[in-house]
A and B are shown apart, each in its own frame.
Chain A
Amino acid sequence: MLLDVLLGVLAAAMAVVIWRLVTGPTDADRVVAVDLAFVIFVAGTALLAVRLRAPSALILVLAATLVGFLATVALAHLLERRQP
């Protein structure tokens, strides 16, 4: 029951992230939004693994952690290197 409410909270946070991705005034805002999106995805995966009693799904947490870090750094470098 508590986990369902918390997953709803994470879904609301993800809606905020999507709104910022669509309307963000600059591309720097979008990079920050993608950073928070992967954080929410990691937390949601961990909560789902507990909620569904499927501990094997916890390996997705590890994969999403690494993918999120690489995505943030790659997007930041793309933003830096882009010619105006």
Chain B
Amino acid sequence: MKPLIGVGLVVGALYVVAVGYYGGSPETWRVGYSPRQPVPFSHALHAGQLGLDCRYCHTTVETAAFAAIPPAATCMNCHQQIAPESSKLLEVRETYANGESVPWIKVHRLPDYVYFDHSAHVTRGVSCVSCHGRIDQMEQVTQVKPLSMGWCLDCHRNPDPHLRPPEYVTNLAWVPEEDAAVAGKRVREQLQINPSTSCSTCHR
């Protein structure tokens, strides 16, 4: 019996360590996930160098739960004039003509039982950069934050360092002139932000 108990203890301890390691590993939370997209759209070029506002394409971000992926028609607004023959844009031109969808790969994914709402955050001074990182510097979009429940709650419990005046929400390079927590506190008081940590805030 005794050796069995010993083996059991060792295996048990190893199991706990393994679960802890796996659960805490960034890969588990898909940090670094960066799938190749069907069209090599560069945020670094569009949002960074050209300085397009996020909301030019993600039009619904302030009014709806989803920051909708733009239709091909949005691309074609410019690309009928700019680089109209580019081979990289072939799929965009084709879908625009035949009405089908460009099969973009979703990068930032939440489980189905989580109901995140973009509008509730960006209208209250939570910048895109808080969850998505410096998208304006990415050639290919990569997930940089864990998007885990604990990570969400960190901010819901202590929002001040993550808040900024709503007009700077899409300015990913913005840094406050004073301490972030002090600036954020002012925004929180001004906008009466009181983030909920009740389960039904996100789970329904």
Q: Do A and B bind each other?
A: no
Interface residues of B (CB under 8 A from A): none
Interface residues of A (CB under 8 A from B): none
